[in-house]
Amino acid sequence: MASITWQPGNFQIMTPNGPLQVEGLVGGPFGLRQEPRRWRPIWTATHLATGLRLSLGNGAGFYDLTLAQEFAERVLSLADWSTGSAPRADNAVANQVLAIWNELILRDVAATNLEIAASHASPSAVNRIARRRIRH
């Protein structure tokens, strides 16, 4: 897997209202930025040459920054990202990007759901179980 060095920086994204300058992490041909969401923020990947979102554009993103970084690093070797046409012109590349996305987003959602479930565990139930073990 290719390795990208990530640095804080500004980059441009394309929005329905035109280009917008944002802050995030920049590495190689990609930028990562955190976007607010209703429950918790997500990390999205942007192709710097075009300002277009590399991760799915329907509001999806990674809760875990390390998975967003892994996504960018894994798709790096799939194409020449120095131009704006690579992913659009080649369906095979687009399908590979989607396959990597699907694999990583499943890991992200599973880990997030476990984290949420653990945070909602009743401390009193845990304490009752611990007391039962001590008595026996």
Q: pLDDT above 70 covers what percent of the chain?
A: 72
pLDDT per position as a tens digit, 22-73: 999 999 999 999 998 887 889 999 999 999 888 776 667 898 999 999 999 9
Higher pLDDT, 126 or 5: 5
Q: What tokens does 85 get?
A: 């046409």
> Domain boundaries in the chain?
7-135
Q: Which residues face 108 on adjacent strands?
A: none
Determine the pLDDT at residue 34.
Answer: 94
Q: Please tell me the distance from the alpha carbon of residue 29 to that of residue 26, in angstroms, as a whole number.
A: 8
Q: Please tell me the distance from the alpha carbon of residue 121 to that of residue 128, in angstroms, as a whole number.
A: 13
Q: Please tell me the distance from the alpha carbon of residue 106 to that of residue 27, in angstroms, as a whole number.
A: 24
Q: Which residues face 44 on adjacent strands?
A: 33
Q: Do the beta carbons of residue 94 and residue 72 sit within 8 Å?
A: no
CA dist 15 → 29, 69, 84 (Å): 19, 22, 16
Determine the pLDDT at residue 114.
Answer: 54
**For the chain, how many residues are written?**
136
* DSSP calls for 4-16: ---EEEEEEEEET
Q: Do the beta carbons of residue 75 and residue 97 sit within 8 Å?
A: yes
pLDDT for residue 6 is more than 80: yes
Higher pLDDT, 17 or 84: 17
Q: pLDDT above 90 covers what percent of the chain?
A: 40
Determine the pLDDT at residue 71.
Answer: 95
- With CA atoms as reference, report the closest residue to 50 among 70, 29, 74: 29
